[in-house]
Structure 1
């Protein structure tokens, strides 16, 4: 494709309605051209033409305080509003040369780079790189101002910012070349050390870089996607990039749990692989080309045993399945413990002695167990001497139906096991996601509007009988939880908070009796002092002597009993 050359075409005005004499028209055109030429300068030549090298152009390092900030299209710049740029120049100096013009009197006026110069002055730099050309002397002041403004706008507007993809790729390159995360974080300044490795992971991933430029995901989310992409786990990448933003954390945790289980399963399979068995990475279904050993018999009709399987391991494949909390072990020795030999009443009661012949529950833990299942490729059945059992039945059709029913039962059992396993993993992921949400939520300074009613109803449904009786008595309603919940549901937000406080106070009140004066406790003191503090002047309430004694304000021995 050949380059396109742009040329300047003079603006031709249409003829006036009343034609003028040719001589007058020529004079008018000459005047118009002169006025236009006075305020228009030809642009730089386009295409491949070389630009004229300015005479006496020099590159120098100058003290920024010696540079003159001339008229600039950018006005109102405040260094204090750009701390990151100031930190960068303070740390690394000015890298891009300032463009400036030398006036006839020798002063150097900044054409481009005002911001760099002002920041350099503010942070105390003593030198900045400057590219200096002589100011034109054959152009009037008005035209110079036009040229200056045109240049400044073009230089600022045509700068292409670094994309997020390029930024992350650069971080990855620096780490790959041996730079430490600390050094990269310090050098980039706007990046925290903890984020450097995440940025590098994104930078190494083609998918991560593409998504970074799209701006749809946070850095943490991009790092998760990139980690799987860098591992070649396309299934995980697809799940993460197709889930909604609100479910991203949940999906990520579910995938992580699944991959963790896969790693543990493969680790548990290693001894079987070393023995010569093939290893299955997915549990075979009833329609797969694998026959479980439990469904095969020998030629004599006896079931296949482990000895039969281990006699020729190369013929068999193993699938190890996880049984959660299947074994009880001694955490100190790792030895298996029979649950029937443990006195479970001692589990949370250190003062309780175990029964005769039983051991304490301390120092014990439940552990998952991997259970092997052996499968034979169906196409090898004829070469092994094994066979599928034939159910006894007088009717061959009934025998076939019985076999199909048994297969359906096995299929349903397999599906049920898988459902429990998969949903349990999702349950763990959901719990972790809730904890993340709650950890952020409890940092807020204002409760949600639902808080008052939720807290009050929770307290109502968990009141001890004595406290429930007291609260309903104080409110003048029927003595039942449901009656109390109805009152809470009809209350305003502020009223619901009052009811919640009332139930907490009732819980404390029912622990006090007529002898409260002789039992001093911090709990009672806080409760009684709160009552005194929240009482309004028209409530006509203050702590009396026995309450003061219970609160620790006075000694009950000092209470006069003859009054």
Structure 2
């Protein structure tokens, strides 16, 4: 409602305090009300007859105010706050010569208090200065009102998050804080996580990171993972990709330790990193470099017999994986699967089982290393290599050759492992991007041409293995029947979005974590289409995807800084948009 003039009341002040002026101040400042220079601090003389107390808000007069229109119904959070806590900041009031009390500052608080039925509000009352001409009083009043409103220093988001974290640490429940701050429970939980992280709080007021991103940073800082915090704090480009890489790396570390646990129980030492035998001093000798006293290859049986002399490092066998039933964990022979029966309603061929519900599981294989100090007592030995003659008949040390070959194999294995990690992270990011993209009511430009080209080049695309599963995930449905219902209810624009989802889901299902070295036929065109769609949404292809499109060679990808792909002008403009 607009600010209106209320009838002044005659209610006596309660719990008031008389503030007496300092006579010395009055003597020393005879011109205290005179205008001072802009650079001089105004020495304010305490007003005569100032009172602090409580009044019924209906007794206060909302007179002339620079805020012309105000409707309490438009400010439900302020109303909820006053309803819960009452008016906390005193209303500044001037007493006119007739005794009426006019609000100088606190019009909003007063009107909401009246609307919410609050009985009393705190007030600070001063007598109007009748020695000043009426227009000058109005000017002064407007100046004071504007300054009181414009010069309030709002609390920062970082301080707000810190305050929430403090209350949570002191034992307040999320519900109590959410109700007290008139906000959602989820926001309180997020603010609590961010508020406990010095790094996340420091980035919060920059407004460059979203709350979920800051929550991710705070999560790793709470774990003491300083490396993850450093990677995520700068730069913000490809944040989700970086976060996914870190998440997968930490998950891989946990999985590796879990896979190594049975070896530790037997007595093996467990290595947490793949030893660099070529460039770093080490006391480890690979089992492949050892032979028995008879010159035979060392077997696992012999290694297990003296497990305490050995250390093991487990790695994922990228050349093979276990096929299992997702619901039971049963190991499945791939030759017993009908790979055309991908849907629950499709009957598999005779003697075969459906491919629906089957997933792959990593297979871990051990690499054994003998601790060098145990070599003499182990009965094993490092064979003495025979000299090899090159084309120029110059002797070449076979040890150097073998070491170089071993290091090359190690580097190649590391590249495969790291690029597979990047491939998995890129897929997660694409799925998130597509899921959001496909919530639109109308299809993006270029959809018809892309769909027509894709289906023309691959007529069986929509029936390919995994296509429907991926499409259902992108559209948030659980079955073909549910999707059929959505198609029937869709308007033309939305129907085109579903058509696009069918094609994108099929193409996405063909891209695996290792597609960087064996790109599917339509993958390059598909990824470039996504890059075009994402140009204004901050989505750009990362290096492992650019290797699939053929833009770069996967051998040139920086393994130590995978998210530091070159950012062109288009990407910079997209982020700034």
| Length-normalised TM-score, structure 2 | 0.64
- Between the aligned partners of 1:392 and 1:58, the Cα distance in structure 2 is 104
- Between the aligned partners of 2:355 and 2:454, the Cα distance in structure 1 is 33
User: Residues 188 and 363 from structure 1, CA distance in 2 versus in 1: closer, same or farther, beyond 3 angstroms?
Assistant: closer
Could you tell me which residue of structure 2 aligns to residue 298 of structure 1? Answer: 292
Of the three residues 345, 351, 354, the one matched with 2:351 is 354
Deviations 1:77-136 (A, max 9, x none): 444544433343344332211111222322111111122123333444333221222333
Of the three residues 255, 270, 274, the one matched with 1:264 is 255
- Between the aligned partners of 1:109 and 1:129, the Cα distance in structure 2 is 14
Query: Are residue 422 (structure 1) and residue 413 (structure 2) matched?
Result: no
**1:370 Cα offset (Å):** 1.9
Taking only aligned residues, the RMSD between alpha carbons, in angstroms, comes to: 3.8
- Between the aligned partners of 2:357 and 2:189, the Cα distance in structure 1 is 40
Of the three residues 73, 91, 111, the one matched with 2:104 is 111
Q: Contact 1:243–1:251 at 8 Å: present in 2 too?
A: no
Query: Are residue 373 (structure 1) and residue 367 (structure 2) matched?
Result: yes
Deviations 1:436-493 (A, max 9, x none): 22222222233322223223323433559xxxxxxxxxxxxxxxxxxxxxxxxxxxxx
User: Residues 122 and 334 from structure 1, CA distance in 2 versus in 1: closer, same or farther, beyond 3 angstroms?
Assistant: closer
- Between the aligned partners of 1:390 and 1:336, the Cα distance in structure 2 is 44
Query: Are residue 185 (structure 1) and residue 178 (structure 2) matched?
Result: yes
**1:307 Cα offset (Å):** 4.2
User: Residues 423 and 73 from structure 1, CA distance in 2 versus in 1: closer, same or farther, beyond 3 angstroms?
Assistant: same
User: Residues 206 and 105 from structure 1, CA distance in 2 versus in 1: closer, same or farther, beyond 3 angstroms?
Assistant: same
- Between the aligned partners of 1:346 and 1:438, the Cα distance in structure 2 is 26
- Between the aligned partners of 1:176 and 1:405, the Cα distance in structure 2 is 61
- Between the aligned partners of 2:56 and 2:176, the Cα distance in structure 1 is 29
**1:167 Cα offset (Å):** 0.7
Q: Contact 1:391–1:399 at 8 Å: present in 2 too?
A: no
Could you tell me which residue of structure 2 aligns to residue 40 of structure 1? Answer: 34
Could you tell me which residue of structure 1 aligns to residue 408 of structure 2? Answer: 412
**1:285 Cα offset (Å):** 2.4
Deviations 1:41-71 (A, max 9, x none): 569998898x655444333332222211233
User: Residues 360 and 131 from structure 1, CA distance in 2 versus in 1: closer, same or farther, beyond 3 angstroms?
Assistant: closer
User: Residues 147 and 121 from structure 1, CA distance in 2 versus in 1: closer, same or farther, beyond 3 angstroms?
Assistant: same
**1:166 Cα offset (Å):** 0.4
Query: Are residue 327 (structure 1) and residue 318 (structure 2) matched?
Result: no
User: Residues 140 and 447 from structure 1, CA distance in 2 versus in 1: closer, same or farther, beyond 3 angstroms?
Assistant: same
Report the number of matched residues.
Answer: 426
Could you tell me which residue of structure 1 aligns to residue 166 of structure 2? Answer: 173
Of the three residues 240, 246, 253, the one matched with 2:232 is 240
Q: Contact 2:168–2:174 at 8 Å: present in 1 too?
A: yes
- Between the aligned partners of 1:436 and 1:329, the Cα distance in structure 2 is 26
Q: Contact 2:313–2:367 at 8 Å: present in 1 too?
A: yes
| Structure with more helix by fraction | 1
Deviations 1:489-520 (A, max 9, x none): xxxxx9xx9xx9xxxxxxxxxxxxxxxxxxxx
- Between the aligned partners of 1:407 and 1:322, the Cα distance in structure 2 is 23
Could you tell me which residue of structure 1 aligns to residue 210 of structure 2? Answer: 218
- Between the aligned partners of 2:292 and 2:118, the Cα distance in structure 1 is 90
Query: Are residue 205 (structure 1) and residue 197 (structure 2) matched?
Result: yes
- Between the aligned partners of 2:63 and 2:125, the Cα distance in structure 1 is 14
Of the three residues 90, 96, 114, the one matched with 2:89 is 96
Q: Contact 1:39–1:143 at 8 Å: present in 2 too?
A: no
Could you tell me which residue of structure 2 aligns to residue 478 of structure 1? Answer: none
Of the three residues 144, 151, 157, the one matched with 1:158 is 151
Q: Secondary structure at the match of 2:162?
A: helix
Query: Are residue 387 (structure 1) and residue 378 (structure 2) matched?
Result: no
**1:350 Cα offset (Å):** 3.2
Q: Contact 2:32–2:45 at 8 Å: present in 1 too?
A: no
- Between the aligned partners of 1:309 and 1:38, the Cα distance in structure 2 is 95
**1:216 Cα offset (Å):** 0.8
Q: Contact 1:185–1:192 at 8 Å: present in 2 too?
A: yes
User: Residues 54 and 278 from structure 1, CA distance in 2 versus in 1: closer, same or farther, beyond 3 angstroms?
Assistant: farther
Task: Give the unaligned 5+ runs of structure 2.
Answer: 1-29, 461-492, 500-577
Task: Give the unaligned 5+ runs of structure 1.
Answer: 1-33, 465-493, 501-563
Tell me which structure has the larger Cα radius of gyration.
Answer: 1
